[in-house]
Amino acid sequence: MKKNNTVIRGDLGHSPKVTALDTTGKLPKATVEDCVDLAKWETLDTKTGKPIPLPTSQPLRYVATATAEKWPGGWMITDYAPDGARTC
């Protein structure tokens, strides 16, 4: 982003919920669905300070699904899949 003279400001909203949990394997696994909210998040042009609009096809709220495994040091995200076709 620095190379393109852009910066992100604001808050990225989240509403994560565990939708599946499997504790039977060597590494416990969880699936987490999150509502990602871009309403208070914006990209700015660092030269002008003006906002750069999101593409018109970009929803401001969409579902993202993460898969996590519980390692000895804590939970580790092993897969992350945003789905812009699923709004929330």
Q: How big is the chain by its Cα radius of gyration, in Å?
A: 17
Query: Rounded mean pLDDT of the chain?
Result: 94
Strands 29-37, 51-52: pairing kind: unpaired
- Specify the pTM: 0.79
Q: What is the predicted pLDDT for the residue at 55?
A: 86
Residue-wise pLDDT tens digits, 24-61? 999 999 999 999 999 999 999 999 999 999 888 889 99
